[in-house]
């Protein structure tokens, strides 16, 4: 997929308070559990209000899967974070388009997060649970968990056999 080793991974969604924090927290947890010590997970939003915490329901659902979002602070996708990222995974096709419109230099390293999904379509987006109920957040988390688990497997394979 990519020729250079992947170390810094950025997850991007709209507000950086639900989906991308889920993905960041999950990858951190899986990297630690699987000895992927050189992986750096980060997240940002295209329309983030810097400093916002993850939503209460996002924190609650994540905690049920041993992912702690209590310290999360939203931040915007800016040039420095985009440039230092080796792989950028977005939640929706609109995010992909908007990110590349803003940062054309990211071409070739931005993909839908479901590219790494183990089950179902790799071409669809991950629905935004913001403003919805607990079940919507839980479904979103599990959807992202499928993709991030596939990503962790991929990273484990590529790091074992560079």
pLDDT tens, position by position, 57-105: 999 999 999 999 999 999 999 999 999 999 999 999 999 999 999 999 9
Question: How many other C-beta atoms can be found within 10 angstroms of the C-beta atom of residue 69?
Answer: 20
* pTM of the predicted model as reported, rounded to 2 decimal places: 0.96
Mean pLDDT of the region 113-141: 97
Structure tokens at 47: 């329309």
Q: How far is CA 120 from the centre of its chain?
A: 18
> What is the residue extent of each domain of the chain?
8-160
Which position has the token pair 């183990």? 118
118 is known as an active-site residue: no
For 13, the enclosing helix (H) or strand (E) is: strand 8-13
Give the alpha-carbon dihedral of 5, 12, 102, 81, to 10 degrees.
-50
For domain 8-160, the CATH architecture is: 3-Layer(aba) Sandwich (3.40)
13 is known as an active-site residue: yes
Q: Which of 86, 115, 128, 138 is catalytic?
A: 128
146 is known as an active-site residue: no
Q: Which of 18, 19, 114, 140 is catalytic?
A: 19
Phi, psi of 159 (to 5 degrees): -80, -30
Supply the pLDDT for residue 1: 46
| Residue of 37 and 136 predicted with greater confidence | 136
């Amino acid at each position: 997929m990519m020729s250079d080793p992947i170390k810094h991974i950025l997850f991007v969604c709209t507000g950086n308070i639900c989906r991308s924090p889920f993905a960041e927290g999950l990858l951190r947890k899986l990297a630690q559990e699987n000895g992927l010590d050189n992986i750096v997970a980060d997240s940002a939003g295209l329309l983030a209000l810097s400093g916002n915490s993850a939503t209460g329901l996002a924190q609650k659902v994540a905690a049920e899967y041993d992912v702690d979002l209590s310290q999360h602070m939203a931040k915007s996708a800016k040039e420095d974070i985009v440039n230092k990222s080796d792989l950028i995974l977005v939640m929706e096709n609109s995010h992909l388009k908007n990110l590349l419109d803003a940062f054309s230099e990211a071409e070739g390293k931005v993909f839908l997060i479901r590219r790494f999904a183990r089950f179902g379509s790799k071409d669809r987006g991950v629905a935004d649970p913001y403003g919805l109920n607990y079940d919507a957040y839980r479904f979103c988390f599990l959807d992202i968990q499928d993709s991030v688990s596939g990503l962790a497997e991929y990273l484990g394979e590529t790091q074992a056999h560079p």
